[in-house]
Amino acid sequence: MVRRNSPSKNSLPGFKAGKKRFAVVVSRFNSEITEALLAGALECLKRHGVKKSDVFHVPGSLEIPLACAKLIEAKQYTGLVALGAVIRGETYHFEIVAQNSTVALTRLSVKHKIPIGCGILTVDTVEQAKERAGGKKGNKGWDAALAALEMAHLLETL
């Protein structure tokens, strides 16, 4: 198999943002975490030359797919970034939110052939979330934005 692209973990060599436009959908639930994810995602998009990124806030992670679906309908965006933080509690609600939000995003992405970088954290504790929102485990908001950028680039070349 021939490798046509092999970007580094934190950047995309050869990526040209041009007039590409991205939207970021971010949950207000667990806002201390999600706002840190948002900062990481916006920094990634900016560093890769994306001049226009629109941010949309929704109540929680279950509402992210509906907002993404509406944004896809608008046909204004090259890609989307979905950010949320689902922290395990004492009930089954964690599994429902985590699974349904991510499955819905995957279905939207495949159905409409648009990249959606999924930065919905699914963690056991607030400490784990903080580690992944700019702490020692990096910023998964950055990673989700980079995934959307990389897939947008790949889809252009296929």
User: Which one from 48, 93, 112, 153 is the annotated catalytic residue?
Assistant: 93
- Torsional sign, CA 56, 61, 66, 69: positive
Q: Which of 87, 101, 79 is nearest to 146 (CA)?
A: 79
Active site residue 93: yes
CB contact at 8 A, 81 and 148: yes
Torsion of CA 97, 99, 105, 111, to 10 degrees: -140
What residues are labeled active site? 93
